Structure 1
Amino acid sequence: MELLDNTDKTILRILQRDSKKTAKEIANLLNLTVSPIYERIKRLEKRGYIEKYVAIVNKNLIDLPITAFCQVSLQSHHESFIDKFENQILNLKEVQECYHMAGQVDFLLKINMRSLEEYHEFVRTKLSKIENIGILNTTFSLKVIKQTSELYL
């Protein structure tokens, strides 16, 4: 993989904070011309350093104030059971993030809901229907101390 120079890293930092910044705005910030900045951004996109551009939506304003972190341990760790679990999780729109973990817990899910009652219904009617779940442990966020999509460069 190609090493990034300081200009590439600065461009990535700027775009992580505000992906709507134009090549012209970034060029002005870096005291460079627009054309090489534009080419660098296109190269970073083409090589996969920039995967996509997204809007981060305020979960409270769309009435999803409850954040649950659900720890899932499977009964069997056979590859076919893991694959089946992962495929079923991909189909649950309520699951915002899912990580396959090392340690005592097999998977960690992040789920945002309108209420505890809605989360209970989700577990009862969808999550618990997934075959091979052994232990399901949920914790709820009381307060967000730090939340960022920026990667340290």
Structure 2
Amino acid sequence: MDKLDETDRRILRALRRDGRLSNTKLAEAVGLSTTPCWNRVRALEDGGVIEGYTALLSQHALGLPDTVIIEVTLDRHDDDMLEKFGLALAELPEVMEAYLLTGEYDYLIKVAVAGTAGYEEFLRRKLYKLPGIRHSRSTFVLRCLKRAHSVEP
């Protein structure tokens, strides 16, 4: 994808706010007619700028109102261990985000749970059953101050 112009950025900002905008509404919002707007959106998708569309679900409504940030250190750092742990971690439905890190901890994991009982259940029945964990440290989130699923274009 070539460099983004201001029209592309307006399209991206509008879709970031509401990914369900119809092409007609999107075209109106960014000052284009429908065909050029559709062509630009398609080019943004084909160029990998727009990776996909999704619905944001309420953790609270799903019975998992609490968020825990978990830092994990593995006992080994060979490719096989990192691969196995990463694949197993990605299969856990409570895990919303997981990052392989540099520094003191190997992974940072964001998990949705139902209180301390749900957290204990997740630890004992799921996370601690994964291969290679040496140490973990957890922090309960008190309040989310900002939540963005992509950067502002």
Question: Which TM-score bucket, shorter chain as reference?
Answer: over 0.9
Distance 1:142 1:76 in 2: 32
2:14/2:29 contact within 8 Å kept: no
TM-score, scaled relative to structure 2? 0.94
Q: Which residue of 2 aligns with 1:40?
A: 40
Q: Which position in structure 1 is the counterpart of 2:89?
A: 89
Secondary structure of 1:137 counterpart: strand
Aligned to 2:99: 99
SS at the partner of 2:105? coil
Runs of 4+ in 1 over 6 A off after TM superposition: none
Q: CA deviation at 1:37?
A: 0.2
User: Deviations for 1:68-127, whole angstroms, at most 9, x for unmatched residues?
Assistant: 111001111111111111111122111111101111111011110122111101111111
Q: TM-score, normalised by structure 1?
A: 0.94
Q: Is the 8 A contact 1:17 1:150 kept in 2?
A: no
Q: Unaligned 5+ residue runs, structure 2?
A: none
Counterparts of residues 41-120 of structure 1 (less than 5 Å): 41-120=41-120
Kindly tell me the number of residue pairs found equivalent between the two proteins.
153
> Gaps (5+ residues) in structure 1?
none
Identity, % of aligned positions? 33
In structure 2, how many angstroms separate the alpha carbons of the residues matched to 1:152 and 1:123? 35
Q: Note the C-alpha offset of 1:57.
A: 1.3
